[in-house]
Structure 1
């Protein structure tokens, strides 16, 4: 049975939209946090002919990015992802690593 992949659209401060995979949602200190994953996109220079295709072999790929956001809801019930401070990030990383590792077993 295939696992359903949940995604969300995140808009950055420049108005650019990114589709990210939701890999974990946790509660910590009465707040909700969401762990999002962005698959690596090609970071090639202009000399590469891959055009950001998945088959690129230019060795510029780094495996993707994981983001952790505090999650709140707006008045319409839509998730709002807020950046977290360094102290909170340091608290959450070991918790999230443990949760993700347990789910892999």
Structure 2
């Protein structure tokens, strides 16, 4: 999750979703990492396009961007949109 100081929608996400997120199946499947866009861009995200809009949720797998959600549409819409993002993750072959 890209965020920045003074982002009221980031605060709202933390209040409405952030507390429960790590306890959900989605949170276990896609653990959240917080990146402040005012700080230097992390080296391991070098191939991921920067963003100025916060919050922005970027789903990354093995250093490759899978999906991106710009903004926080509220709890009622966040979960279904996150589900659509997670559906884009590659499935590993079962043995």
Instruction: With the length of structure 2 as denominator, give the TM-score of the two structures.
Output: 0.29
Instruction: With the length of structure 1 as denominator, give the TM-score of the two structures.
Output: 0.27
Structure number having the greater strand percentage: 1
Kindly indicate whether structure 1 or structure 2 has the higher relative contact order, using CA contacts under 8 Å at least 6 residues apart: 2
Structure number having the greater helix percentage: 2
